[in-house]
Amino acid sequence: MYPHYGKEITVEARLDFFGSPLGGKVLRHLNSASKAVSDSTLPAAVQELVKLRASQINGCGFCTDMHSKDAAHAGETQQRLNLVAAWREATVFTDAERAALELAEQATRIADAAGGVTDDAWANAAKHYDDDQLAALISLLAVINAYNRINVINQQPAGDYQPGQFG
């Protein structure tokens, strides 16, 4: 039950995807891919910013809640978290972070652009990240977009996530 304009509402997922044998198997594979990225040399702050931005674009409340809280728990400032959605106008991000956020936006909105990720966005990211970090960034974007889609399709409720909840 959540307060909503003076009345309580109940928000429930369409399916207990986490409890489903097949859903659980899929999530374990996504988690393995996510672990490979988190263990990479791609800076942890960049990883959280990218996950947050993709989740915002995709309208995934569950992942937006999770990644904003995980980033704050890891020491990210509230100011930077508040400005992720408006990173182009914000002065609080490094050039490398801005390049990653641009790549994240283009990769997440891939269907909106006839050519997918532009050569300019790729070249800008390649100025700041080595090949392994670029591979991690591509992989991270594929994984977070998969998580977002599962949660949006399933209408996974947002708001109750606690940092580190999933280990």
pLDDT per position as a tens digit, 78-92:
999 999 999 999 999
Q: What is the pLDDT of residue 23?
A: 95
- Kindly state whether residue 10 falls inside one of the protein's structural domains: no
Q: What is the pLDDT of residue 151?
A: 95
CA distance 57 to 47: 16
- Kindly state whether residue 118 falls inside one of the protein's structural domains: yes
- Write out pLDDT tens, residues 113-156: 767 899 999 999 999 999 999 999 999 999 999 999 999 999 99
- Kindly state whether residue 164 falls inside one of the protein's structural domains: no
- Kindly state whether residue 12 falls inside one of the protein's structural domains: no
Q: How many domains does the chain have?
A: 1
User: Which of 115, 97, 99, 117 minimizes the C-alpha distance to 107?
Assistant: 117
Q: What is the pLDDT of residue 1?
A: 45
- Kindly state whether residue 121 falls inside one of the protein's structural domains: yes
Domain that holds residue 36: 17-154
State the CATH number of the domain containing residue 91.
Answer: 1.20.1290.10
Q: What is the pLDDT of residue 150?
A: 97
- Kindly state whether residue 7 falls inside one of the protein's structural domains: no
User: Which of 98, 100, 107, 99 minimizes the C-alpha distance to 145?
Assistant: 107
Q: What is the pLDDT of residue 5?
A: 60
- Write out pLDDT tens, residues 53-62: 999 999 999 9
Region 60-83 average pLDDT: 96
Tell me what the pLDDT averaged over the chain comes to: 92
CA distance 139 to 148: 14
User: Which of 40, 62, 67, 41 minimizes the C-alpha distance to 52?
Assistant: 67
Region 147-166 average pLDDT: 92
- Write out pLDDT tens, residues 13-23: 999 998 999 99
Region 2-6 average pLDDT: 57
- Kindly state whether residue 145 falls inside one of the protein's structural domains: yes
- Kindly state whether residue 2 falls inside one of the protein's structural domains: no
Instruction: Answer yes or no: is pLDDT of 2 > 60.
Output: no
